[in-house]
Structure 1
Amino acid sequence: MSAQRFRGDHSPEGKQGEPHIEACKPAKIKLRKKPGGFALTLMFLTPFPLLLEGFSQISNASPIGAATSFGTYALFVLAAWTLREGLQAEAAYNERKIARPRMFPRKLIAAGLSGTAVFLAAWFGWGQNMFTGIGFGVMATAAHLVAFGFDPMKRKGLPGFNEYETDRVARAVDKAEALMAEIEAAAAGINIRSVERKVSSLLDSVREMLRTVEQDPRDLTRARKYMGVYLSSARDATIKFAELNERSKDTVYQAEFVALIANLETSFKGERQLMLQDNQSDLDIEIEVLQERLQNEGHVAKD
């Protein structure tokens, strides 16, 4: 009776009379490298002396100096945070076959924030004149852009598909990835490594489906239920389990949740395999029609 605790009406097993989906075998988890690496970490650590300087200014009874140091430090941290968001958006853009540039160029904004922070630090903190501070700020902005580059600005699409079709797929993938981000955030709060790995394995399967849809936008119609309804159910179930697990470390809840995630993963993998088979069948038909046309026109000898 408790087997339906995490299942909604839109889950693969949510309705009576539907076939049971067997749990899939544990999948090998793909480690996703975080963009930015040490350079991004350094961006967060570099302004730390400004924080210490702010406390020093407080002890020296200099409120203006303290406000300047804290404000400059906050600008540096905001720039680093914006840069991280930009690098993540760039990584997602590079991974996708179909993508649209982000509305706000985060890496460019981060460069501007860094330059502004350096300008303020030079003018107010280092005692330089305004024009020297501007020079330092411009150099910092340029160095930031050289180190991390610009944001992707071009639309990515596939040959043979019009802009409407590619935009339709891009919007659907954006919504799916937003749901996946919510699932990852909820799973991170569970603090059970085995459960987090299972959720990560499910999301890897979802990403494979998204890449399949991007390669052939005609698959979007049949995949929409999985990319929207099933992912929403997975998000709701993950949030619900995280809340239950915070109140009670009941292994029964954990087993039910893991079983649901496994069933969803199997469902995504199975649907993706059907898509690939259908795409192969379409290709076989196109090849057969082309061969018949060439034979009828005398370009190829008939068997």
Structure 2
Amino acid sequence: MTTTVKSAAKRYEPTIHNVRYGIKGILLYLLPLPALITAIGSLMRGDVMATLVTGGVFAAFMVGASVARHGFRLEGEYERRKIARAPSTPFKTVAALIISIATGILDWWSSDYAMSGILPAGLISAVTFLGFALYYGLDPRKDKAGNISIGVTIEEVLDALDAANIKIDAIEQARRQIPNPEFNARLQRITSKAREVLTSIEDDPTRLSRARKFLKVYLDGTQRVTEGYARTHQGEKAVALETNFSRVLDSIEQTFAEQQAKLLEDNHFDLDVQIEVLETQLKREGVL
């Protein structure tokens, strides 16, 4: 049995565009509307304490709903991937605590802060937490191992996938700073291909050893040249930079398109040769 060692590598957190979580949790924004109405009424009456309590409860509900939505997004990404880390922070559990405590405070306030109302308020709070947990569930706490086989550990695969995803997100962030529509489209194709390779590794983790060098050269080079171009694409240097950047993208896109298929085959030699060719090209362009 393989012993899992906790990695110190940076944990990947998916960006918001990666997961479509729809209207899940929208109800959480609607539930505290009575508290808002009460707060407005109290403010109009000049009841400062009631305004502060009901307004604070409404704000707490809004915070809890937003935290819960973030937890839903992370859970969606976790469920989508075959191999994934559990979310580092239990956002859904935190949201459930915020909402249940706010509900308890609101119930206690309705009893005029009576000592006899503490126990019922505590019970209401507990029931609220339980209801949230039953309806939405709590956060996944175990990493998904997927189809991990002998010769590779879950930490190795997760670390490699996390590092690759962080680089892809960095490329996407730099791409959004580039106004050239042609370059944007080409970079989108490149990052899309990269994510397809990560998916293939999740399907068969034994491919990691073959893909490691390829992803490193490919993603490191693409990230550096894209971020460099995004920083300096304006001004007098723009024309010269466009020519160099276009040439590098040609090399990266062509090489990756050819080797994506070979990565799934057993032709180790051809893959390594093409990687060396790409690496030489990137060094010649001053990227590596």
Structure 1 unaligned regions, length at least 5: 1-30, 282-303
In structure 2, the residue matched to 1:153 is 141
Where does 1:145-294 land on structure 2 (aligned, <5 Å)? 145-157=133-145, 158-161=147-150, 165-185=153-173, 199-228=187-216, 230-235=218-223, 264-278=252-266
Q: Are residues 182 and 68 of structure 1, via their aligned partners in 2, closer, same or farther at CA, if it must alter by over 3 Å? A: farther
CA distance in 1, matches of 2:198, 2:233: 30
Give SS of 1:39's match: coil
How many residues align structurally?
248
For the 8 Å contact 1:198–1:262, the answer to whether it is kept is no
Q: Are residues 167 and 56 of structure 1, via their aligned partners in 2, closer, same or farther at CA, if it must alter by over 3 Å? A: same
| TM superposition shift of 1:174 | 1.7
For the 8 Å contact 1:172–1:227, the answer to whether it is kept is no
In structure 1, the residue matched to 2:90 is 105
How big is each residue's C-alpha offset from its partner over 1:54-109, in whole Å with a ceiling of 9 and x where there is no partner? Answer: 55555554444444334323332332232233222222222333233233322222
Q: Are residues 225 and 123 of structure 1, via their aligned partners in 2, closer, same or farther at CA, if it must alter by over 3 Å? A: farther
How big is each residue's C-alpha offset from its partner over 1:110-169, in whole Å with a ceiling of 9 and x where there is no partner? Answer: 22222122222332368583333223322222222222223223333225326x622111
Residue type at the aligned position of 1:156: K
In structure 2, the residue matched to 1:94 is 79
In structure 1, the residue matched to 2:20 is 34
| TM superposition shift of 1:202 | 3.3
Which one is further off, 190-199 or 134-143? 190-199
Report the RMSD for the aligned CA atoms in angstroms: 4.2
CA distance in 2, matches of 1:56, 1:244: 55
CA distance in 2, matches of 1:149, 1:213: 29
CA distance in 1, matches of 2:179, 2:33: 30
For the 8 Å contact 2:24–2:69, the answer to whether it is kept is no
CA distance in 1, matches of 2:181, 2:102: 40
2:69 is aligned with 1:80: no
CA distance in 1, matches of 2:26, 2:182: 28
Q: Are residues 195 and 68 of structure 1, via their aligned partners in 2, closer, same or farther at CA, if it must alter by over 3 Å? A: farther
Q: Are residues 112 and 240 of structure 1, via their aligned partners in 2, closer, same or farther at CA, if it must alter by over 3 Å? A: farther
For the 8 Å contact 2:39–2:54, the answer to whether it is kept is yes
Give SS of 2:88's match: coil
For the 8 Å contact 2:19–2:73, the answer to whether it is kept is no
CA distance in 1, matches of 2:148, 2:160: 19
Residue type at the aligned position of 1:43: L
Where does 1:96-135 land on structure 2 (aligned, <5 Å)? 96-124=81-109, 129-135=117-123
Q: TM-score, normalised by structure 2?
A: 0.64
Q: Are residues 266 and 44 of structure 1, via their aligned partners in 2, closer, same or farther at CA, if it must alter by over 3 Å? A: farther
Identity within the alignment, %: 24
Where relative contact order (Cα < 8 A, 6+ residues apart) is larger, the structure is 1
CA distance in 1, matches of 2:220, 2:123: 50
